[in-house]
Amino acid sequence: MDEILLSIKDLRKHYGSKTVLNGVSLEVKRGEIIGYIGPNGAGKSTTIKILLGIESGYSGEVKIFGQDISTESMEYKRKIGYVPEIAELYDNLTGYEYLTFIGELYGLDSDFADFKAKRLMNLFGIGEVYHSRIASYSKGMRQKILIISSLLHNPEILFFDEPINGLDANSVMIFKEIMTQLAAQGKTIFYSSHIMDVVEKISSRIILLHDGKIAADGTFEELKDTNKEGSLEQIFNELTGFSEHKEIGERFVSVVGEM
Ligand SMILES: Nc1ncnc2c1ncn2[C@@H]1O[C@H](COP(=O)(O)OP(=O)(O)OP(=O)(O)O)[C@@H](O)[C@H]1O
């Protein structure tokens, strides 16, 4: 039987009078790669933060590994990895210092975290900056550090919020392969991004959040069957009722030209 690792029932979240999540329900099975998409401000990061226990004040039920996260211990967090959309790295630390620190937070022995982190950085092509301060890293290097830090403790579930921001095309190919291999090993991945062609290719299932609710949920093939448009980008435009890109672009440029 397919093991359900994550279940959300009737999740609702408000910020003041603004409703962000308005009754989201879903179940995620072990080994799935969920592409979690939706317009800016749809509530994708909010959902992920609730799942991680960072954001409270919601209604509904959230279970991870079968345990209600509002009542159970924090122990489940040891089995979770997270790449946040916006992250503060400790600029004064070196890659070595940061990654061994994160490894230790997750309960790894410092020498083992060092051994693992160094090889992962080498494999990601940034081994030469292992002992340089993060302040000197490029955007892509920082993103690679975040990805490595989310994986050091070999978690069961991964939450990736725009993980490939700043990665070059070759590194994106490596990252896609890493996701596929992790899922094949039974890791579960919750992947939120606006880069539709990557979501289309990598996800075993795509969930579209719109107006606080799930507007579509299925494989890319299923979404294609129920919507007349072809690419995921076109399906996204259709399901979110958006067709004014040309007109808005023209008006935008016209305002730019005003002097
Ligand atoms: N701490 C907060 N206080 C008030 N409003 C918030 C807070 N966090 C998020 N919001 C609001 O909740 C809505 C959803 O934000 P969220 O970051 O979850 O969207 P998102 O789908 O991840 O968007 P994007 O694609 O732009 O990253 C937005 O309108 C945002 O302004």
């069961």: which residue's tokens?
156
Nearest Cα residue to atom 24 of ligand 1: 40
Report the predicted TM-score, pTM, of the whole model to 2 decimal places: 0.91
- Per residue of the chain (259 residues), give pLDDT as tens: 589 999 999 999 999 999 999 999 999 999 999 999 999 999 999 999 999 888 889 999 999 999 998 887 778 888 999 998 877 888 999 999 999 999 999 999 999 999 999 999 999 999 999 999 999 999 999 999 999 999 999 999 999 999 998 999 999 999 999 999 999 999 999 999 989 988 999 999 999 999 999 999 999 999 888 877 788 888 888 888 888 888 998 998 999 999 9
Structure tokens of 169?
């095309």
Nearest Cα residue to atom 3 of ligand 1: 15
CA 190 from chain centre, in angstroms, equals 6
241: which DSSP letter?
Answer: T
152: which DSSP letter?
Answer: T
How far apart CA 190 and CA 33 sit, in angstroms, is: 6
Mutate to test the pocket of ligand 1, among 11, 12, 13, 15 (most ligand atoms within 8 A of CB): 15
Query: Would you list the DSSP string of 111-130?
Result: HHHHHHHHHHHHHTT-GGGT
> If DSSP codes are grouped into helix, strand and coil, which group holds residue 162?
coil
Looking at residue 227, what is its pLDDT? 78
Looking at residue 1, what is its pLDDT? 57
Query: Would you list the DSSP string of 58-111?
Result: EEEEEEETTEETTTS-GGGGGGEEEE-SS----TTSBHHHHHHHHHHHTT--HH
Mutate to test the pocket of ligand 1, among 17, 19, 45 (most ligand atoms within 8 A of CB): 45
Pocket of ligand 1 (CB under 6 A): 15, 20, 38, 40-46, 85
Mutate to test the pocket of ligand 1, among 22, 24, 46, 58 (most ligand atoms within 8 A of CB): 46
Angle at 39 (CA atoms; ends 35, 42), nearest 5 degrees:
90
**Which atom of ligand 1 lies closest to the CA of 38?**
21
Nearest Cα residue to atom 9 of ligand 1: 46
Sheet holding 80-83, edge to edge: 80-83, 157-161, 188-192, 33-37, 205-210, 213-218
How far apart CA 38 and CA 210 sit, in angstroms, is: 6
62 CA to middle of ligand 1, Å?
19
Say what the ipTM of the complex is: 0.96
Looking at residue 77, what is its pLDDT? 85
